[in-house]
Amino acid sequence: MSELFDAVDALLASRAALPPPAERKRLRAAHGLTIDEVATALRVRRATVSGWESGKTEPRPPERDAYARLLDKLAELYPAAPADMATPASAADAAVPATPAPAADAADPATFTAPPAPAEAQPLSAGETSEAASEAAAMTATANPQPPTPVSAAPAPGPARTRPSSSPRRPGAKKAAPAGIPAAGTDPRFENGPLAVVDVEDGKVLAYCTGGLVLDVPAKSIPALVDWTLREAKLGQPKLAGPGKDADPLIVLTEAALERYGLPVTLTQEEKHAGRIPEGHKVVKQLARAEWKLTKRGFGPWARIYRPATGSERACVQLCIPSWNALDARHWGEAEQLPPSELARVLGVYASRVMTPRGSTAVTGLELMTALHPPTRASEPDATGKRHSEHNPGSLGKDAIDPMNWPPCEVPDGHPVLKDVPRFHVRGPAEKLFEEAYDWARPMTDAECTLRHLVGIDVNMAFAAGANGLSVGLGEATHLTNPTFDPKLPGSWLVDLSHVDLSRVKAGKEWVELDGSLLPSPFTPKGEAPEGPAWYATPTVAYAVELGYEVKPAEAWVRRENGRYLDGWYNRLRDAYLATMADLGVVADLQPADFLAAMDGYKARDPELAIVTAAIKATVKGGLGKLRERPRGEGWRPGEPWRALSRPTWRPDIRAAVISRTRINLHRKIVRHAAFTGQYPIAILSDCVVYASNGPSPLDFLPYREGKPLPGGFKLGINPGLVKHEGTQDVLWGEEVRERFDAPELNLARYIKDGTVTDADNGE
């Protein structure tokens, strides 16, 4: 009889009631679980769980019973809000409640108090950059950041039939209205938004647009899809600057859409290496017969399909194919696995706040610079009333700098200007400009070993903050011999800074005594003191002057035509980041303790918006990296030009200046902190700094007096240039790790976030 009861129980379990798909996802996200974690626990594929949450598939026994049990337990922990109580949530509603501030440091209770109030404005020293000013401006200008296109009802139907989206918002999710799903554009030409995710459901081809709109797609082939996109879909985005160009519509193809249109779901190894499908593929032939063209990169993960422009009219569509690795997981997280409506939301928020993606986040970051500073503009009418194309002031122009006109010190190895340099010659500091981010560490002192914790703090959008207000060269360089240093003149300077003594430096207007052996040099990425003349970007040399030391350059390459080219780029990305973080409950005017609480688990509040924040940060770093793009394959040989050199935006000098200023900004804060507290960093990796502390929180060692942070020092907050908590580990952990690898100067900043260290990491 017991066997019969067991059979009945199993039968009932196989029909266990499950919540709706949207609720399944809400419950998982509420507990901070990833799709991968659930899939691993249930021993199924990741795509299977994604299908359960999108409603495309339903779980079957025996996984169904276990999945139902998981959801039941999560529902007990995170009950959905009653329908009659649900109201639109604001960004402030999404903020985590404030938690009490950590206790004051016992060593000086009058010095360390929390939470602080916003810092008063402090005068900048003669050589100090405008970073502090930009932080203050960001606090006032972006406490309520300019929202993207507001969410409204679905736009009026275009030529194609519309119907409601099949993927509603999660019940009870708290998010600001603008972040729910970006509404379609207000420009009537682009009333359905900048992009669409094309999928196939129940045999029908559907285009998921922003704002929750879904269009029926009649196209039977890729050429027909391109034609439909340009003629009927009303997709695209208005230009970002007056003389610029409107963004081409973006079509994202799901795996089902790829199969429908005769394209492979994944690329072969050979195709991955080539970055495209073969020219003989049937879809490429279809496009050729329809007189559509592909760019030189061919039909790859980011394919551009166009016809030559006639007058001012453009006919171009860009395709994005996630399953071909168009959305790199390092920058877009799990975006590739999202259902179509949610992927449209993620890409739509990014497009509305940054720009319509033009390729990888790096490519988009570079394209954003050009979109905000178009190379040409229309001239005033001439005598005949005609207008002509002319240089747009403040831009980099439409023509690349001749490779042979580059200063040899600014270019990477293998550049054409170095073709006569022996192949195996290693250029030293006196031959090569080497401005890179910090990778520095030192052994802990005996006093530091008696403390309990290692606490990492990370500078928000550090490289973006370094670009803000920075004057960079706009044209070619001029060579000078024995010049007088001018901190306002962008360029590269050959100068000996080995005499700068970090044990006695100026901090503001006063000279301070420090333990220079515990500080990294501000002049080299490894923190080692320079041994003689070396090439430096202007911000680095200016900092030596700021520290109180005389500089006498022997040589320089300077750019008299200069300007704050990156200001608009910084503002756009800053606003995008702050608006998205505000939607996640982290706003710009939080007190320090409240800020730390709000940052705790912010990604789980809306994993899709968390993807957007990661993509925005990757856009900053990737865009700056593209300024000095190296050759990639292409059959290149040292001494020969490569494709990137033909771009006006191939500007290694600008990249060097931004990195130089970012590193100097960080060192300035470290010096101010050391002078005031006597605390020195243990390790630095790029924009992450690790200190030894008695407590596990940044508030246990960051100085606050009378509710105010140290002027010119580290300050907790979400604005670019301010810092957040990166991670905390025990001091014992740090000592054990270094002992295990027999490396007393192993960079602990690389592992401070989660404490995981591997042999592979040690080999870097």
3 state SS of 575:
helix
**Residue of 720, 727, 134, 650 lying closest to 411 (CA atoms):** 650
Cα separation values, 537 from 326, 395, 472, 515, 625, Å:
35, 21, 10, 26, 16
Report pLDDT for 507.
84
Report pLDDT for 209.
96
Q: How far apart are CA 665 and CA 337, in angstroms?
A: 39
* Structure-block tokens of residue 502: 């970090």
Report yes or no: 359 and 302 within 8 Å, Cβ to Cβ. yes
Report pLDDT for 184.
55
DSSP 396: -
Q: How far apart are CA 656 and CA 663, in angstroms?
A: 11
Cα separation values, 373 from 115, 334, 629, 710, Å:
41, 32, 20, 37
* Structure-block tokens of residue 44: 């199924």
**Residue of 354, 408, 294 lying closest to 574 (CA atoms):** 354
Q: How far apart are CA 477 and CA 425, in angstroms?
A: 25
Please list, in sequence order, all residues whose beta carbon lies within 8 angstroms of the beta carbon of residue 564, skipping any fewer than 6 positions away: 469, 470, 471, 472
DSSP 7-70: HHHHHHHHT-----HHHHHHHHHHTT--HHHHHHHHT--HHHHHHHHHTSS---TTHHHHHHHH
CATH class of 2-80: mainly alpha
Report pLDDT for 58.
85
DSSP 501: -
pTM of the model: 0.78
pLDDT tens-digit readout, 519-575? 999 999 999 999 999 999 999 999 999 999 999 999 999 999 999 999 999 999 999
3 state SS of 685:
strand
Cα separation values, 463 from 375, 436, 686, 691, 729, Å:
24, 11, 10, 21, 26
Q: Determine the straight-line distance between the first and last CA of the chain, rounded to whole angstroms.
A: 64
* Structure-block tokens of residue 525: 């990425």
Q: Cα–chain-centroid distance for residue 612?
A: 8
* Structure-block tokens of residue 631: 């050759």
Report yes or no: 664 and 129 within 8 Å, Cβ to Cβ. yes
Q: How far apart are CA 698 and CA 101, in angstroms?
A: 11
Does the bond joining 115 to the residue before it have cis omega, within 30 degrees of 0?
yes
Buried b (16+ CB within 10 A) or exposed e, 67-91: bbebbeebbeeeebeeeeeeeebbb
Report yes or no: 466 and 662 within 8 Å, Cβ to Cβ. yes
* Structure-block tokens of residue 87: 């109201």
Does the bond joining 490 to the residue before it have cis omega, within 30 degrees of 0?
no
Report pLDDT for 105.
33
Report pLDDT for 444.
96
Please list, in sequence order, all residues whose beta carbon lies within 8 angstroms of the beta carbon of residue 452, skipping any fewer than 6 positions away: 693, 694, 695, 696, 730, 731
* Structure-block tokens of residue 644: 């990137």
Q: How far apart are CA 355 and CA 764, in angstroms?
A: 34
Report yes or no: 287 and 303 within 8 Å, Cβ to Cβ. no
Q: How far apart are CA 533 and CA 434, in angstroms?
A: 13
Please list, in sequence order, all residues whose beta carbon lies within 8 angstroms of the beta carbon of residue 190, skipping any fewer than 6 positions away: 184, 234, 235, 236, 237, 238, 246, 249
Beta strands in 464-619 (DSSP E): 472-473, 478-481, 491-496, 504-507, 510-513, 533-537, 555-558, 562-563
Q: How many CA atoms lie within 13 A of 328 on its CB side?
A: 14
Report pLDDT for 163.
46
Please list, in sequence order, all residues whose beta carbon lies within 8 angstroms of the beta carbon of residue 255, skipping any fewer than 6 positions away: 265, 323
Q: Mean pLDDT for each consecutive 10-residue tract of the chain (764 residues)?
A: 55 68 87 81 81 82 85 84 41 36 33 33 36 40 39 35 39 36 72 97 95 95 97 95 93 98 96 94 97 95 91 85 97 96 97 97 98 92 84 94 97 95 92 97 96 98 97 97 97 98 90 96 97 98 97 98 97 97 94 95 96 98 97 84 96 98 98 96 97 97 84 95 97 93 92 83 47
Report yes or no: 616 and 579 within 8 Å, Cβ to Cβ. no
Helix (H) or strand (E) holding 276: none
Helix (H) or strand (E) holding 266: none
Instruction: Give ∠ CA 82-85-89 in degrees, rounded to 5.
Output: 110
Q: What are phi and psi of 693, to 5 degrees?
A: -150, 155
Every domain of the chain and the residues it spans: 2-80, 162-357, 403-435+468-563
